Amino acid sequence: MVAAAATAGFGLTSCEREGCVRDPKTVYGINAENVVKTELRKRLSERTEPIETPAFQPLLEEEEPVVVEEPPQPEPVATSPEAKKAVDVDVEGSTSMTPEEARLEAATLKAKKHGGGLKLFSGNGNMALSLEIAKLLGVNLGRATVSSFADGEINVAIHENVRGKDVYIIQPTCPPVNNNLMELLLMVSCLNRASARRVTVVIPYYGYARQDRKMQARVPISAADVARLLESMGVDRVIAVDLHCGQIQGFFGPRVPVDNLEGGIVGIDHFGGKDLHNPVIVSPDAGGVYRAKKFKEGLAYKYGWDDIGIAMIIKQRARAGSVDQMDLVGDVTDSDCIIVDDMIDTAGTLCKAADVLVAKGARRVFAFASHGLLSGPGNDRIANSTLEECVILNTIPSTPQRSANEKLVELSVAPLLAQTIFNIHAKRSISALFK
């Protein structure tokens, strides 16, 4: 299929111009700016010596700008068609230039517009999410063909100039995992061969993430192997959402930085608006305690909830995808519980955990996960479970069956990804988005 910008239907501006990429001004970006201002105020208050001209004072004060009326400047006279064309260029300060200076300034501005700009491309993994991110950034998706030949081989072709551009590829490696992964690898290779200045891959869902260590003899560490494939193709940066294990960031070399975004920050606003009674954040396993703790701290910080509890479920697996026994560590009596996990696959573990919590005296049980795979009977299990509500992000494309599930709520991660892309392109902080 062709990922053409015209299919978006949003009336976006052309991304050929560097200045067209706009700040999405999402809640995450606004909070990050407030954090920076707070830290600057704190540094100012800690300084004892007088500060004559602080360089960061304009960031802290939002005063009315002083308007100084200047006398009108005479219009420059164009003596030739070429000079007249240069004068007509909207360049700041060009009214005080000679025709030759205006022509040179116009040529410089044109070179800047067509060099080092941002380009956004997408595979077939999650086109709806890619279009939403493009709309927030105010750019078009790049024109590219990503399809399959008759024998199943992947066909990739880029239909616009990317030489010297800062390119971002949005492609989750969700089912069909191997097809989406091969599309991503070939797109990275294609863009590098087309002389892109930097290639950043945005992977909302990182496939093969659960195979991150050797649990038995003669098995691969697939998460590391996928990282080596991406690195060998020439990826310059990776943006992911809630990696299954944080150590996956270490599978990439030091020349490929990895930004592991916390999807829980999207769910905090959703659950913060609910009237929860004695809320308790529950981790479905020992490895997710840190994620549950961060979710608890986010709710406590943003909404001032100081009475949030935390609990953990210890599960013993009979085999992959099957749980033999579950034990609860913590008290959930007369509490509203939120099970926080990174992904929901077949939902067997989640539904069984909800039953355990209800049996232990929980009033209501909610669930939040960044990635809703819902393989096989997953969607039906959630619909027939004791869960009050199951919240997921749109890192994986939705289906009509999911939309029909009344217990399933899908939140958009596009604002967080769009703000992250803009901050990286503008060389701003990423960690400030999560403070």
- Residues with a catalytic annotation lie at 315
**H-helix or E-strand spanning residue 31:** helix 27-46
CA gap 252, 16 in Å, rounded: 31
* Rounded Cα distance, 258 and 239, in Å: 6
Do 396 and 249 touch, CB atoms closer than 8 A? no
Handedness of CA 250, 254, 258, 260 (dihedral sign): positive
H or E element, residue 328: strand 322-329
Placement of tokens 């701290």 in the chain: 297
Give the Cβ contact number of residue 289 at 10 Å: 17
Q: Which residues lie below 8 Å from residue 249, measured CB to CB, with a gap of 6+?
A: 243, 258, 260
Report yes or no: 147 and 97 within 8 Å, Cβ to Cβ. Answer: no
- Using DSSP, state whether 150 is helix, strand or coil: coil
Question: Using an 8 Å Cβ cutoff, are 210 and 244 in contact?
Answer: yes
